[in-house]
Every structure is written in C-alpha cells, then in structure tokens.
Amino acid sequence: MARLRTATATSAGGIVVRYEGDIPSLVLGMRRRERDRVTWTLPKGTPNAGETTEETALREVGEETGLEVRITDRLPSIQYSFVQRGTRIYKTVHYFLMEPVGGDLSAHDHEFEEVRWTRFEDAPDILAFETERNLVMSTAQRLTTPVAPADAPVAAPDDPSQHPAAR
C-alpha cells in the first residue's frame, strides 16, 4: 500500500460573542459540502503572506461574517488531520475570542451560504466538527465562570480598612 504524502496547514479564526441580556450567542456559518450535505462551522481561514495569526483571524472572521470584530482574548488552538488529493494534512487552527464592533451579517462573503447568531447552548447540536464543539463548550464555560479582575485588591479577612463600613 502506498503511503500518503504529508503536509501541515495553519488557519486562524474566532468565536464572536454578543450578549442579549445575560445570554451569550456566537456566530456560525453554513457551507454546502456536497449536493445534500451542509456543515455549520466557526469562521476561520488561511493567512496571507506576512500576516500575523491575529491579523489573519480578524480578516477572515470579518470576510466570512460581515462583522467588524476586535480580539478580546486568545483561545486554545485545535488540531486535526484530513486527506485531500492524496496528501494527509495536519492542520492547526488558532482561535480568538472576539466581540463585534460594527458590520452586519448580511455582508458576509461567498464562503458561507448563511451566517447566523446561535446561543452557546444550541451550538453543540449544530456544529459539524467535534473539535469545534469542544472549543465552543469550553468557551461557554469560561464565559459563565466569574473571574475577579486582575487588579482587584485582595484584603486579609481581618483587615478593618477593607470592611464595607470603613470605606
């Protein structure tokens, strides 16, 4: 049996989050893969020459969703492999947490047939790929876990100056 050639590939994308009240939603895009098959995925794409990972993520998410976005944090990367034209490709996708700052979903490019906001709780049933489902679920957990601000003062329990009545 002939061995497959191997190659590596890198992409960058984002989980764009908005809130309706306390409920976070994210943007998903739909592609037709075959005659009757569609896949819902996170927006992502490959870098242009000289682009940083962050620049690629901002550009690709903007093109594919129609939104202007800004990066608020780095998320874990995902890795997977697939075979394309006789080559096994090992791919790493770098993800960022993002928020919309302008634009409109109706301005998305041709790479997605449809783009929509989806509640985090519904995304695992919609997303086509397990790696993306896992990333979305861990991001949802991160968004619902309160984190104290890094610059918040931490007082000893018996420090009278930190008691609310002393302020």
Residues 70-77 have a mean pLDDT of 97
What share of the chain has pLDDT > 70, as a percent? Answer: 84
Residue 50 has pLDDT above 80, yes or no: yes
CATH fold label, 5-145: Nucleoside Triphosphate Pyrophosphohydrolase (3.90.79)
Residues 130-146 have a mean pLDDT of 91
Domain ranges of the chain: 5-145
Residues 126-146 have a mean pLDDT of 92
Residue 164 has pLDDT above 60, yes or no: no
Q: CA triplet 60, 130, 107: central angle to 5 degrees? A: 25
CA–CA dist 110, 113 (Å, integer)? 6
Residue 138 has pLDDT above 60, yes or no: yes
pTM for this predicted structure: 0.82
